[in-house]
Amino acid sequence: MLIASIKTEILTAVKAACQSQFGQQPEALKLGYPPEVELGDFTVECFPLAKQFRQNPAQIAQAIASEIEPSGSIQSVRAVGPYLNVKIHNHVLFGDVCNEIVGQGECLGSTDIGQGQRVMVEYLSPNTNKPLHLGHIRNGVLGMGVSKLLEATGHTVVKANLVNDRGVHICKSMLAWLKWGDGGTPETTGTKGDHFVGDWYVRYAQEEERQPDLEQETQAMLRKWESDDPETLELWKMMNEWVYGGFAETYQKLGLEFDAFYYESQTYNLGKDLIQTGLDKGAFIVAEDGAVIAKLPIDEFGTQRDGSQKVETLLRGDGTSVYVTQDLGTAKMKFDEHQLDRSIYVVGSEQNYHFQCLFKLLDMLGFEWAPECYHLSYGMVNLPEGRMKSREGTVIDADDLIEEMFQLAADEIRERDSESELSDEEIQKRAFAIGMAAIKFYLLRVRPELTINFDPKESISFDGFTGPYCQYAYARCASILRRAETEDLASVEPDFSLLGNEEELQLIRALIQFPEVVEEAARDLSPARICNHLFTVAQTVNQFYHKHPVLAAESPSLVKARLALINASAAVIKKSLSLLGIETLEEM
């Protein structure tokens, strides 16, 4: 009996009882869980029925409960006030459920609700003049997380990275390198490529303070770039390659994957023809200075300071494109190239307004897929002293942070390895997995829209509501399962009727809820939901094995039953971690 079938069985029984007691089918039934596990394994609320059957909910519950005879999976149905609490037979509740969970393997928690849906998740989208920072890590793990959630629910996901590889800021590092770089390269200086280029960007900023006319040289270089000057293009390509090399390393460490790369140098001219279409349709208008603009509806965008209608510029007076121009074109290209059903943009909340405009403009252009574009907005990552500011050097560099987490984890491991039994290689492997788990979980555990106040102490913590805590719970399960293999239990059949204490009930309940949690997380594009549920499972399994011996249980058939529970718990923890992009360790 599958989890889904148990639910259906309960609902079917309730419906049949309503039919015979009240002569009609219930309009709406909601299956939930009682607040205390002792009350039952599932519950059906009778409030909605009260309206339909014109009786008080407690009486309805009574009537239905008396109508349902235990059968199949259902052991008992009891009315408690307005609730119908259902108990499921142990061999189904524990036996069948654990079997199902363990048997599903990689597919655990997967559904097909998104079958046939193609969705693009664009995330990270860095500039090529600076290395990645903490904000990019939040973006990256979030983008990767929602991609995995969508995949788990049957969607076909195209993970895209729109690289901002052109513009003044890129020219600045190019110019600085040309002037003062002395032919150095990442290789000759032993510097990671993105940092190498970023250093020249910083150097530019310093020099510019002393000689403000550098700005003109930058503009001249940008013009050369735009007119396809071969030397400038060559320099540009070379420096961008250095950056990509550096980025690739960081992506790899963070486990970020992409199926498609878009480059703004190739997309920045897209969209101009769409502007013409908009003009032809009368959706856009030409302003006095020749710029193409769109008027934004007041009910959605509010007004300007003076109370007049808001306006968005789509094309400058000189015919050059702006940010939205490019994005309009790219949006269309994405749908055309990949036959998308949905297009998700993982971009920080400071761009909320931009995407509100972009989507409205797509709608004004008449694209039927415009409503399928979605800005997955996430809050900023602030430091204890406020916003990260590159000018003040308070930006937390991604590679530095990764290295720091790795070192901290390694220290912890060595401290616990008092006998020095672990090889250096093993320590490194574990330290990396644990360090990454800490930072990823820390950034994913709150809802995307919330601003994170980056607390260095808390972010490196390995206790409590953290990634390492969850990894540890898994490692403990794995340890018990390993030991079980050395015992002679092969011929013993588990007796699930022996289970049923509070910790066991709480654990199985959490496991049963896993598929719904995945579905909700995917629906809300919120890996935080996975974090919360995962932590509950980890906490519950910790409580369980602390209080109840598994291998030393009273009888072999109880040992087998508890092992099944541990096995299923480990599977759920592993899958949850994997949905968050976090590795599991068999030993910690």
| Stretch 301-360 residues interacting with RNA (CB under 7 A) | 301-305, 307, 310-313, 316-317, 322-323, 349-354, 356
Q: Backbone phi, then psi, for 395, in 5-degree steps?
A: -70, 130
Task: Pick out residues in 56-85 that bind RNA (CB under 7 A).
Answer: 80-83, 85
Under rule CB under 7 A, residue 225 binds RNA: no
- Compute the least distance from the CB of residue 339 to RNA, in Å: 26
Q: Does 475 bind RNA (CB under 7 A)?
A: yes
Part in contact with RNA (CB under 7 A); list of ranges 136-144, 269-277, 294-302, 569-577: 294-302
Q: Which pair of tokens denotes residue 8?
A: 């259906």
Alpha-carbon distances, residue 411 vs 78, 432, 471 (angstroms): 54, 12, 17
The number of residues that bind RNA (CB under 7 A) is: 103
What is the closest distance, in whole angstroms, from the C-beta atom of residue 183 to RNA in the complex?
A: 30
Closest of 165, 9, 137 to residue 435, by C-alpha: 137
Stretch that binds RNA, among 113-121, 132-140, 186-194, 524-532 (CB under 7 A): 524-532
Closer residue to RNA (CB): 106 or 350? 350
Beta-strand pair 83-88/74-80: antiparallel
- Retrieve residue 393's tokens: 């050097």
Q: Which CB sits closer to RNA, 186 or 264?
A: 264
- Nearest residue (CB) to RNA, 96 versus 412: 412
Which 30-59 positions form the footprint of RNA (CB under 7 A)?
A: 32-36, 39-40, 43, 45, 47-48, 50-51
Q: How far is the CB of 221 from RNA (least distance, A)?
A: 16
CB atoms inside a 10 Å sphere around CB 156 = 17
How many other CB atoms are found less than 10 A from the CB of residue 216?
Answer: 9
Q: Is 190 left (phi over 0), alpha (psi -120 to 50) or beta?
A: left
- Single out the residue of 503, 489, 501, 506 nearest to residue 557, CA to CA: 489
Cα–Cα distances in angstroms (integers) from residue 78 to residues 4, 48, 62, 71, 561, in the given order: 21, 18, 8, 14, 27
Contact status: 441 vs RNA (CB under 7 A): no
Segment interacting with RNA, rule: CB under 7 A, options 106-114, 173-181, 207-215, 531-539: 531-539
Burial class of residue 574 in the structure, from the number of CB atoms within 10 Å of its CB (0-12 exposed, 13-18 middle, 19+ buried): buried
Region near RNA per CB under 7 A, out of 133-141, 147-155, 391-399, 450-458: 450-458
Q: Is 127 in the site for RNA (CB under 7 A)?
A: yes
Query: Which residues does residue 160 pair with via DSSP β-bridges, in sequence order?
Result: 122, 260
Judged by CB under 7 A, which of 412, 495, 504, 583 binds RNA?
A: 412
- The distance of closest approach from Cβ of residue 450 to RNA in the complex, given in angstroms and rounded to an integer, is 5
CA 199 to chain CA centroid, Å, is 31
Nearer to RNA, 185 or 536 (CB): 536
Instruction: Compute the least distance from the CB of residue 176 to RNA, in Å.
Output: 19
Residue numbers 452-471 binding RNA by CB under 7 A: 452-453, 455, 458, 461-466, 468-469
Q: Which one of 483, 487, 501, 555 is in contact with RNA (CB under 7 A)?
A: 483
Least distance (Å) from RNA to the CB of residue 312?
5
Contact present, 566 and 541 (Cβ < 8 Å)? yes
Nearest to 122 by CA among 150, 155, 161: 161
The runs of H, that is alpha helices, within 163-213 are: 168-180, 186-189, 193-210
* Nearest-angstrom CA–CA distance, 326 and 272: 8
Strand pairing report for 31-32 and 42-45 = antiparallel
Q: Which is nearer to RNA, 62 or 85 (CB)?
A: 85
CB closer to RNA out of 186 and 544: 544
Nearest-angstrom CA–CA distance, 440 and 409: 14
Closer residue to RNA, CB minimum distance, 90 or 506: 506
DSSP 94: I
Q: For residues 103 and 317, which CB has a smaller minimum distance to RNA in the complex?
A: 317
Beta carbons of 514 and 533 less than 8 angstroms apart = yes
Return the residue matching tokens 């590159």. Answer: 390
Residues 233-272 that bind RNA (CB under 7 A): 264
Binding positions for RNA, 532-571, rule CB under 7 A: 532, 535, 539, 542-543, 545-552
Cβ-contact 236, 177 below 8 angstroms: no
Query: Is-contact 175 223, C-beta < 8 A?
Result: no
The residue among 186 and 452 lying less far from RNA, judged by its C-beta, is 452
- Work out how close the CB of 84 gets to RNA at its nearest, in angstroms, rounded to a whole number: 8
Asked if 111 touches RNA (CB under 7 A), the answer is no
Q: Does 520 bind RNA (CB under 7 A)?
A: yes
State yes or no: residue 416 binds RNA (CB under 7 A). yes
Touching RNA, residues 139-198 (CB under 7 A): 164, 167
Q: Shortest distance, CB of residue 190 to RNA, whole angstroms? A: 30
Closer by beta carbon to RNA, 223 or else 447: 447
Cα separation, 298 vs 307, in Å, equals 10
